[in-house]
Amino acid sequence: MGYDLRERALGAYLGLAVGDALGATVEFMSPTEIREEYGVHRNMIGGGWLHLRPGQVTDDTQMCLVLGRSILADEQWSVTRFGAGMVQWLRSHPVDVGNTCRRGIRRFMLNGSTAAEPAEWDAGNGACVRNLPVVLATLNAPATFRRISVEQAHLTHHHPLSDVATLTLGEMLRCALRGDGISSVRRLADALVARYPEFDFKEIPQAPTPYIVDTVRAVLYALLHTDNFKDCLITVVNQGGDADTTGALVGMLAGGLYGTYGLPGAWLQRLDPAVQKEIAAQVDPLLAWGERTDHEQLSASTPLRVLFYEKPGCANNARQKALLTAAGCVLEVHDLLQTTWTAETLRPYFADRPVAEWFNPASPRVKSGEIVPEAFTEAGALAAMLLDPLLIRRPLMEAGGAKIAGFSEDQLRLWTSVSPDVYAEVTGVATDNCRRSVPCPSVRPARSLTKTPAASSHANAS
């Protein structure tokens, strides 16, 4: 293990705890309130709405330590073991617990489920901020990094924006630990914004909320507009809002970039000694964890099983199946059109996507204009699809607790180590685009349901 790597890894872990403890003082305050009370908040004095001791950390650091313990308990990762660790932590009456984390832990306590159902309101930052131990343990195993990152996240948070933020900030930390420097982190940030413009970080949010988009925007702004740990952390925590979490994430990334030597001694001296001791005890074993077990081979020996609902004869579905098979997945293929669906079994595949995106744009009735997806309510769309399954965006896929409609590039990256961008270059077609110049042939007569479905007061009505 290289000395520089250990110093950057220790800097990242301690930096997360330092940022957590410094930011907790001004959590939920506005920038104006911070200026009025502290001028510039730069001292680790505790207090805040949680009435903390100087140097005391919050749930952000505590969840990291729980995840680190769960990883180190065995040579093989177990999300169930992590869930049990979170239960034990919750029962210890921590100083603070986020609502989404609490809900996920209690669900695990009740039924043992290790993956929350996809939920519109689960785009918080709790899963992202605790992922540091996964990065350390899988530094040389990118596919394993992605798999474990998503599994630990889904214990409490199941939302595509939470997933992409967890993976992206994890990749940024991987770059920092490898010594690739700030330029590599910037490239990853720019790539994130190119695909998800809502993460744009030209301006820093005022009092960023726990919403993962607000959090990441604040973190990236502070990280990429400063050149040292101290200024980076002071910049972000003085924006207030969810300052313990933005501080923790900035501290993690800046600590990884600048190492332990970049952490101000005055802050380290105030940081809870017990937390420092456990962090120091975890770093070396976490870095060694990936070296003593070939996790890439372990992952390959237990291939992902994917339920794949297709339209037989669809060329695009055939290409998608070929890509999944090449990535090592085991497919269980079903005829989408012959499967007996109900509104209850179909609805989860669409998660929080807009109703218009539930429809297959290549369906004959959509292409002809008979069906206008934007005109449908949620209930109306489900009713139409049960009558005519060709309207359903396909394929429907289920694996690892996730259900999705359409061949999602994000989900493919989470499931496998294959890049769909490379696949698109080789085949000349994007993975979710059909090559047909005419609509797929209908397999049943057109129904009477037309452009204007029955009126609905549903919240998702167009």
| Residues carrying CATH 1.10.4080.10, the chain | 3-297
The CATH number given to 303-427 is 3.40.30.10
- Beta-strand pair 402-405/396-399: antiparallel
Residues 6 or more apart whose CB falls under 8 angstroms from that of 458 comprise: 377, 378, 379
User: What CATH class is the domain 3-297?
Assistant: mainly alpha
- Is 422 a residue whose pLDDT tops 90? no
* Mean per-residue pLDDT of the chain: 86
What pLDDT, in 10s, does the model give residues 141-165? Answer: 888 999 999 999 999 999 999 999 9
What pLDDT, in 10s, does the model give residues 51-64? Answer: 999 999 999 999 99
- Is 415 a residue whose pLDDT tops 50? yes
- Is 231 a residue whose pLDDT tops 90? yes
Mean pLDDT of all residues in 103-109: 94
What pLDDT, in 10s, does the model give residues 301-313? Answer: 467 788 999 999 9
What is the pLDDT, as a whole number, of residue 195?
86
| Residues carrying CATH 3.40.30.10, the chain | 303-427
CB atoms within 10 A of CB 310: 21
What is the pLDDT, as a whole number, of residue 140?
87
- Is 47 a residue whose pLDDT tops 80? yes
- Is 369 a residue whose pLDDT tops 60? yes
Alpha-carbon distances of 268 from 159, 260, 277, 440, rounded to whole Å: 35, 10, 12, 64
Predicted TM-score (pTM) of this structure: 0.68
Cα separation, 108 vs 113, whole angstroms: 5
Q: Are the CB atoms for 157 and 195 separated by under 8 Å?
A: no
What is the pLDDT, as a whole number, of residue 450?
31
pLDDT band at 230 (very low <50, low <70, confident <90, very high): very high
- Is 83 a residue whose pLDDT tops 70? yes
Residues 6 or more apart whose CB falls under 8 angstroms from that of 29 comprise: 37, 207, 240, 241, 243
Cα separation, 219 vs 170, whole angstroms: 13
User: Which amino acid is located at 234 in the chain?
Assistant: I
pLDDT band at 35 (very low <50, low <70, confident <90, very high): very high
What is the pLDDT, as a whole number, of residue 77?
94
pLDDT band at 338 (very low <50, low <70, confident <90, very high): very high
What is the pLDDT, as a whole number, of residue 320?
85
Q: What percent of the chain has pLDDT over 70?
A: 84
SS3 category, 301: helix
- Is 420 a residue whose pLDDT tops 50? no
Tokens 């007996």 — which residue?
340
What is the pLDDT, as a whole number, of residue 423?
40
Mean pLDDT of all residues in 381-394: 96
For residue 402, report the phi and psi dihedrals to the nearest 5 degrees.
-105, 140
What is the pLDDT, as a whole number, of residue 413?
61
